[in-house]
């Protein structure tokens, strides 16, 4: 999964540079606004996959093949309905919003066409969610890793060729993105039906109780998806409302960097989440609790390690990547990374609560808090504050949610918060506190040297301060075994 992410991250950075060169800053900014439907699909699919994964993993933990097939078919039907409803609601509403509210110094019908193209790929990807969930529950990570790499390379090649060919570049780029969003569904379907024909056999399930249980879980998960997407995508809309598409381009490139950083930490939760669910399903709550702490701590450390270049030498990175530094892009990406670090601080809690199925209170409280941050951000920008001020509101909302998650976990699962604080929070905080003085050193180093020294220092802090003795011994034994 990390090999996949390295390739996807590097290819994604080149794709953004090629696309920016080919489209120009105005058209690229437009795609950042209108094409945000792709981000919608990515966030929605990631969270909805966890719904399927949760129920299938529970059935796998109990060893019930028939139940796995029931759950798969119920989820498939639910996601087909979601795809149809999305088409019926999002297409007319999105077109209306674009025609009336998007600021673009060109033909607005082009923006509508881009939106309609991207929505097709999104709809197809929704149908692939149950298959992706099956792969996750079965821990067949290679399949979707390989698929992601292939289509990411196709996307990069398309953006490269776009610099030299085609007249209607924005339309062609939209078609490429739509293809790379929807096509993986076909690969997932073929693999799952060939590998697990009995578990993925299509049939009508008549158990109403199962539909009700999964639909209820999906409904609350959907509320979380809507809140998360609305909060993140409202940034593009708010920036476009109070500023222009040039500013949206800066936000777009910052989103690209932050997206790849977050994906690295999500690898930790993706690999641990099925084990958390299976442990909870068989009643092994001690192992579930330990995995939850591990997921939170390791996710936080991964983001911290990956984000160092983008926090310390942001201008240098942008210059190497894009050739110039877009206005506000430096502040955007730094604040985004800080927000991502805060979000990841107790990442394992979500997996444990989802495993229990008791998601109503969790989804309701946390996501309502996120939605309330949007009108506050609107008022902040309307008062004349700079564009990056909206991230201060988001950071405040996410910080509040860190404490709210603790309260809800204790109320819902009766877990002892002291365990998580001792095993995850305190080591993470101590590492960051000891690292902060390094960022204040006023030494004239070459940017690359500065990053290398910072990474070595941070990794040393994580190893000697952040990890427990048993975790250090495990790493030492692994390295020693591979060195032989």
Look at residue 215 in the predicted model and tell me its pLDDT: 80
Residues 6+ apart with CB under 8 A from 158: 172, 173, 176
Of 338, 266, 353, whose CA–CA distance to 46 is shortest? Answer: 266
Other Cβ atoms closer than 10 A to 267: 18
CA distance 165 to 180: 19
Of the chain, the end-to-end C-alpha distance in Å amounts to 25
Q: What is the residue extent of each domain of the chain? A: 1-206, 244-484
Place of tokens 């690292």: 435
Q: How far, CA to CA in Å, does 195 sit from each of 134, 191, 274, 284, 450?
A: 11, 6, 19, 29, 49
Look at residue 81 in the predicted model and tell me its pLDDT: 85
Q: Contact 206/149 with Cβ under 8 angstroms?
A: no
Q: How far, CA to CA in Å, does 255 sit from each of 28, 66, 250, 330?
A: 13, 42, 9, 11
Q: Contact 349/417 with Cβ under 8 angstroms?
A: no
**Apex CA 194: angle with CA 189 and CA 197, to 5°?**
95
**pLDDT tens string for the chain (484 positions)?**
778 878 887 888 788 889 888 988 777 777 777 666 556 655 666 666 777 777 887 777 777 778 888 888 888 888 888 788 878 887 888 788 777 777 666 677 877 888 888 888 888 888 888 898 888 888 788 898 899 899 999 999 999 999 888 888 888 988 998 888 889 999 999 999 999 998 888 888 888 888 888 888 877 877 877 787 777 777 777 887 787 666 777 787 788 787 777 777 677 777 787 788 878 877 888 888 888 888 889 889 988 998 888 888 888 888 887 777 777 888 888 888 898 888 888 888 888 888 888 888 988 898 898 888 889 989 998 888 888 888 899 899 989 998 999 899 888 888 878 888 898 999 999 999 999 988 887 777 888 898 999 999 999 999 999 998 888 988 888 888 877 6
CA distance 222 to 356: 17
Tokens of 227: 């809140």
Dump pLDDT digits (tens) for 65-112.
Answer: 788 888 888 888 888 887 888 788 878 887 887 777 776 666 778 778
Look at residue 128 in the predicted model and tell me its pLDDT: 87
Look at residue 453 in the predicted model and tell me its pLDDT: 92
Look at residue 245 in the predicted model and tell me its pLDDT: 67
| Per-residue exposure over 82-109, b if at least 16 CB sit within 10 Å of its own CB, e if not | bbeebeeebbeebbeebeeebbbeeeee
CA distance 23 to 154: 18
Look at residue 59 in the predicted model and tell me its pLDDT: 79
pTM: 0.70
CA distance 55 to 72: 9
Look at residue 218 in the predicted model and tell me its pLDDT: 76
Q: Three-state SS across the chain?
A: CHHHHHHHHHHHHHHHHHHHHHHHHHHHHHHHHHCHHHHHHHHHHHHHHHHHHHHHHHHHHHCCHHHHHHHHHHHHHHHHHHHHHHHHHHHHHHHHHHHHHCCCCCCHHHHHHHHHHHHHHHHHHHHCHHHHHHHHHCCCHHHHHHHHHHHHHHHHHHHHHHCCCCCCHHHHHHHHHHHHHHCHHHHHHHHHHHHCCCCCCCCCCCCHHHHHHHHHHHHHHHHHHHHHHHHHHHHHHHHHHHCCHHHHHHHHHHHHHHHHHHHHHHHHHHHHHHHHHHHHHCCCHHHHHHHHHHHHHHHHHHHHHHHHHHHHCHHHHHHHHHCCCCCCHHHHHHHHHHHHHHHHCCHHHHHHHHHHCCCHHHHHHHHHHHHHHHHHHHHHHHCCCCCCHHHHHHHHHHHHHHHHHHHHHHHHHCCCHHHHHHHHHHHHHHHHHHHHHHHCCCCCCCHHHHHHHHHHHHHHHHHHHHCCHHHHHHHHHHHHHHHC
């Amino acid at each position: 999964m990390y090999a996949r992410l390295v390739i996807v991250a590097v290819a994604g950075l080149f794709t953004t540079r090629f696309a920016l060169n080919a489209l120009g800053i105005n058209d690229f900014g437009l795609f950042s606004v209108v094409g945000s439907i792709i981000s919608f699909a990515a966030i929605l699919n990631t969270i909805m996959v966890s719904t399927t994964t949760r129920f299938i993993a529970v059935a796998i933990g109990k060893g019930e093949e028939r139940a796995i097939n029931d759950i798969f078919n119920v989820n498939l039907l639910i996601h087909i309905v979601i795809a149809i409803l999305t088409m019926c609601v999002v297409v007319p509403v999105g077109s209306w919003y674009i025609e009336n509210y998007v600021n673009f110094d060109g033909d607005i019908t082009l923006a509508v066409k881009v939106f309609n193209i991207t929505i097709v790929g999104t709809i197809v990807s929704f149908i692939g969610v149950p298959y992706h969930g099956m792969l996750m529950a079965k821990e067949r990570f290679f399949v979707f890793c390989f698929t992601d790499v292939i289509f990411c390379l196709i996307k990069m090649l398309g953006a490269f060729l776009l610099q030299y060919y085609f007249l209607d570049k924005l339309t062609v780029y939209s078609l490429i993105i739509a293809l790379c969003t929807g096509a993986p569904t076909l690969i997932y379907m073929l693999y799952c039906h060939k590998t697990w024909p009995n578990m993925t056999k299509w049939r009508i399930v008549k158990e109403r109780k199962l539909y009700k249980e999964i639909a209820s879980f999906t409904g609350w998960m959907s509320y979380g998806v809507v809140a998360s997407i609305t909060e993140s995508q409202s940034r593009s809309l708010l920036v476009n409302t109070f500023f222009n598409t040039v500013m949206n381009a800066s936000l777009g490139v910052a989103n690209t960097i932050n997206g790849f950083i977050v994906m690295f930490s999500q690898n930790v939760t993706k690999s641990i989440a099925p084990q958390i669910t299976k442990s909870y399903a068989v009643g092994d709550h001690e192992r579930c609790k330990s995995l939850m702490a591990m997921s939170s701590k390791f996710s936080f450390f991964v983001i911290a390690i990956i984000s160092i270049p983008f926090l310390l030498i942001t201008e240098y990175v942008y210059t190497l990547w894009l050739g110039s530094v877009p206005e506000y892009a430096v502040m955007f990406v730094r604040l985004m990374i800080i927000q991502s670090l805060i979000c990841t601080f107790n990442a394992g809690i979500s997996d444990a609560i989802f495993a229990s199925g008791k998601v109503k209170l969790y989804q309701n409280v946390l996501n309502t808090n996120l939605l309330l941050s949007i009108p506050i951000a609107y008022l902040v920008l309307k008062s004349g504050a700079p564009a990056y001020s909206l991230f201060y509101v988001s950071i405040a909302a996410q910080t509040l949610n860190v404490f709210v998650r603790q309260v809800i976990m204790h109320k819902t699962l009766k877990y002892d918060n002291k365990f998580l604080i001792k095993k995850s929070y305190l080591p993470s905080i101590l590492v960051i506190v000891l690292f902060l003085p390094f960022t204040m050193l006023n030494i004239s180093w070459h940017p690359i040297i500065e990053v290398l020294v910072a990474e070595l220092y941070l990794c040393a802090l994580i190893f000697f301060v952040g990890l427990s003795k048993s975790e250090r011994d495990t790493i030492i034994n692994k390295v020693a075994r591979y060195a032989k």
